[in-house]
Amino acid sequence: MAPTKVLTGARVVLPTGTVDDGRVTVEGTRIADTAPGGSRAAGTADLSGHWVVPGFVDLHNHGGGGASFTGGTAEDVLKGVHTHRTHGTTTVVASTVTGDLDFLARQAGMLAELAQQGEIAGIHFEGPFISPCRKGAHDEGLLRDPDPAEVRKLLDASHGHARMMTLATELPGGLDSVRLLAGHGVIAAVGHTDATYEQTLQAVDAGATVATHLFNAMPPLGHRAPGPITALLEDERVTVELINDGTHLHPAALRLAFHHAGADRVAFVTDAMDAAGFGDGRYMLGPMEVEVADGVARLVEGGSIAGSTLTLDRAFKRAVTVDGLPVEDVVRAISANPARLLGLDDRIGSLEPGKDADLVVLDEGFDLVGVMRRGEWVIDPRLG
């Protein structure tokens, strides 16, 4: 049996608030107890001057560490997953990009095996059922209307591990596909869309519950044509993804989303591609060639932003130090809310007895110094 681990002295962020000089006790893979104060006796990890927060949960991630979830092998996926774990993401959903339907089905089968093994939390299909008007870094020649029969093909290929699908719900078959996804317990996300305000509300009424990277790849907010942004921010049934890398969103846009949606309806995501945690250079995002320069990924042809090189530890630090958000609100957005959306909040997303011992240790400047996943240190803060 694994020895008990006791972490003491840190500011621990719990669902009820932050506890100064807190204690977290881990037995095996689970949290056994959280409490104020604690002994500094031998066998404890004294984390005075640090923060302890829940492990991060990423709903939307295409790869990292030079490896791709979108077209890579199982070994590639594991490499990318490990890269993000070292940056605090203890739970990751693997996202695909637009491709040939048969190829996507084969990739889904491989990803489903990794989900069965507990390496990833499931599959997110971003494309091919999106609008050519808002395609971003997706191959227009492979886009298609969301035929429910084809949606079902991808769900079947996922063997119960499909977690989310991004759709342009205004396209023919869009609303029926939303209803199909909702009926199978899969998140229908509105994104890469040219929908009107009214069309977006119809999608939410049909069962859509997530906005894929709000503001990006959708019509801008207008005072006569409020579009999908307004509809998605207004509706309490919707959680909005935000990419907080300083490239995809101006800080004022991020604060606007938090103000209107509230901290319980925001989920920070990376939308990361292969270069996350790796470096500048040329990469492939599905069939599209990407140039990464100064940490910003853009298509070689056309120059559209092509995902990000973000890791969630950077998103956390930026949210607190640049955007001025309370730490507790950031924890909701980066851990609790995505865990709830995935239906995994009974196991992850907060530091509570009985849940998986997934946690992140940050120093006073909110730089990551430790990561624990299921009771084992990925990065031990005592060795830094």
For 205, the token pair is: 């009424």
Tokens (6 digits) for 207: 């069962």
Length of the chain, in residues: 384
Q: Which two tokens stand for residue 57?
A: 């949960």
Q: Let me know if 271 is a catalytic residue.
A: yes
Q: Which residues contact 259 (CB under 8 A, 6 or more apart)?
A: none
Residue 191: which of 238, 224, 256, 249 has the closest Cα?
Answer: 238
Q: Which of 76, 271, 345, 356 is catalytic?
A: 271
| CA-to-CA dists, residue 131 to 98, 126, 168, 340, 363, angstroms | 11, 11, 6, 28, 43
**Three-state SS annotation for the chain:** CCCCEEEEEEEEEECCEEEEEEEEEEECCEEEEEEECCCCCCCEEECCCCEEEECEEEEEECEECCEECCCCCHHHHHHHHHHHHCCCEEEEEEEECCCCHHHHHHHHHHHHHHHHCCCCCCEEEECCCCCHHHCCCCCHHHCCCCCHHHHHHHHHHCCCCEEEEEECCCCCCHHHHHHHHHHCCCEEEECCCCCCHHHHHHHHHHCCCEECCCCCCCCCCCCCCCHHHHHHHHCCCCEEEECCCCCCCCHHHHHHHHHHHCHHHEEECCCECCCCCCCCEEEEECCEEEEEECCEEEECCCCCECCECCCHHHHHHHHHHCCCCCHHHHHHHHHHHHHHHCCCCCCCCCCCCCCECCEEEECCCCCEEEEEECCEEEECHHHC
Q: Which amino acid is at 238?
A: V
**Active-site residue set:** 271
